[in-house]
Amino acid sequence: MPAPTALPDPATLSQLHERIGAWFRAHARDLPWRAPERTPWEVMVSEFMLQQTPVNRVLPVWREWLRRWPTPAALAAESPGEAVRAWGRLGYPRRALRLHAAAAAIVAEHDGEVPADRETLLGLPGIGAYTAAAISVFAFGHRETVVDTNIRRVQARLISGRALPGRGMTAAEMRLAEALLPRDREDSVRWNIAVMELGALVCTARSPRCEECPVLADCAWVAAGRPEPEVAPKGQAWHGTDRQARGALMAVLRAASAPVPRALLLDPRLPEQAHGSAAEADDVVRAVRALRRLEAPPEQLRRCLEGLLTDGLAAEPTPETVALP
């Protein structure tokens, strides 16, 4: 059972707003998707890419993506496979597929303009509670409660006195975020991004930099003597998993511009065939060797390939070959 959460009184809350706001003005990173002239589409692309992926890895892919596809219509005009290829090594390539599908829906149903309200955004592929709120706030300046993993962690420590939030978001956390949100619209936008930034830079999951925290004196977790987390981390297995095998299969498809023989994917011990340019052939050979090194059971490779086809991450131009969709 979560510890009871005492809401700060109005004076304290106002002080929290002030201190975290001042900290943000002094320490915020200069991230391109925060520039005031950014379009809603540019913000939306950043939010998709930032789902479970660190800022530093997103930056170059975001720039190249928007150079190629500066509008939803530009992306929708491409094949989904090109989106998956441009996604590169960001991970969770289904996000590329969903971003492409969302662009198509925006063109088909919203005159090519990113919707401004949370409810409409929620109807788009790949947009859940967090991303809908984030786009509404960061692209359109609306007053909405945004609750991401950073904000949950800051709230858990600062207000609830716990080391980490639980696995799933609770209604209580949502209510707490609403209660903390400044009334003024512009202040609320600033608050959301500032708390996220505080969580990302100072109130981090592993080794929080409490000495740099602007609200250290108000922190319920510190006041409680920094108790240990209540829930043990889940621990993601990796070696030998389907996720690893799917990733290796996708790497081969991304590297190849021509369809790849199905037999090569299912039995990567086969000799690689020539693919396109010499440079590309090198990339394909490298990817196939990485797949081979997994020494995944043939049964697993078959299952994973079928999964990629089912998910739409791969297609079969012919019965004997596989390619990006």
Partner DNA sequence: TAGACGTGGAC
Partner DNA sequence: TGTCCAAGTCT
- Are 121 and 136 a contacting pair, CB within 8 Å? yes
- Whose tokens are 């707490």? That residue is 176
Residue 60 beta carbon to DNA: minimum distance, rounded to whole angstroms: 12
Least CB distance to DNA at residue 147 (A): 9
Q: Under the criterion CB under 7 A, does residue 174 sit at the interface with DNA?
A: no
Among 25, 63, 89, 185, interactor with DNA by CB under 7 A = 89
Kindly indicate which of the ranges 107-115, 127-135, 257-265, 316-324 contains the residues binding DNA, using the contact rule CB under 7 A. Answer: 127-135
Q: Which of 154, 159, 200, 265 binds DNA (CB under 7 A)?
A: 200
Q: Counting contacts by CB under 7 A, is residue 155 touching DNA?
A: no
Q: Say how many C-beta atoms besides its own lie within 10 A of residue 72's C-beta.
A: 26
Segments in 7-140 forming alpha helices (H) = 10-27, 40-50, 55-68, 72-76, 80-87, 94-109, 118-122, 129-138
The secondary element (H helix, E strand) that includes residue 124 is none
Shorter beta-carbon distance to DNA: residue 50 or 215? 50
**Cα–Cα distance measured from residue 323 to residue 325, given in angstroms and rounded to the nearest whole number:** 6
3-state secondary structure of 189: helix
Choice among 47, 144, 173, 272 that is catalytic: 47
With respect to DNA, which residue has the nearer C-beta, 253 or 264? 253
- 223-282 positions binding DNA, by CB under 7 A: 232-236, 238, 241-243, 246-248, 250-251
106, 114 Cβ separation under 8 angstroms: yes
CA torsion 298→300→306→309, rounded to 10°? -100
The interface with DNA within residues 38-67 (CB under 7 A) comprises 46-47, 50-57
Question: Which of 15/117 has CB closer to DNA?
Answer: 117
Residue 263 gets the label, from left (phi > 0), alpha (psi -120 to 50) or beta, of alpha
Residue with tokens 């997994």: 294
The answer to whether residue 37 is catalytic is no
98 near DNA, rule: CB under 7 A: yes
Q: Which residues are catalytic?
A: 47
Binding site for DNA (CB under 7 A): 31, 33-34, 46-47, 50-57, 89-94, 98, 125-132, 134, 148-150, 153, 164, 167-168, 196-197, 199-200, 204-207, 232-236, 238, 241-243, 246-248, 250-251, 307, 313
